Amino acid sequence: MQEGKLIAFKIPIRMHTELKARLFYDEIPMTKFVRSYVEAYLGRGPLITEFIKEYKIKNNIQNKVKIKKSEKLIEKGIENEKLFNLTSEEIKDVYNTLEQELETIEL
C-alpha cells in the first residue's frame, strides 16, 4: 500500500450534498475528484492557475501586482527549463530562487 496523508476539512451539509450529487452524476469518486484538483494545482495546470488567480483577487489574498510578479517568475522558470533542458536538481534551484524572490517582495 502506498504511503500517504489523510486530508480532512469541513464544509456545510448542503454543499456536501450538492457535491456528492454532482460527482455521482459525473461518475467521479470524491477521492479522485479532490486528488485531481490537488495534482492540477501542484502541476500548475493552466485552468487551475487561472482559477487560483481569480480566487486570490476576489478574496483579497494577494494584490494584482504581486500576482503578476509571481506569474512572470513562474513563466521565466518554465522558459529556462525548456531552454536549458534542466535537471531536477537545477529545477529545484530555480524554484528556490523564485521562493527567495517572492519572500523579498513580501517584506
Same domain, 62 and 92: yes
Same domain, 56 and 77: yes
- Helix ranges, the chain (H): 13-26, 30-42, 46-58, 64-84, 88-106
Same domain, 55 and 106: yes
CA distance readout (Å), 100 to 3, 15, 55, 94, 95: 31, 38, 24, 10, 9
Range of the structural domain that residue 19 is part of: 10-43
Number of structural domains (the chain) is 2
Query: Residue 86 has what pLDDT?
Result: 67
pLDDT means over runs of 10, the chain (107 residues):
84 96 96 92 86 88 81 78 72 79 70
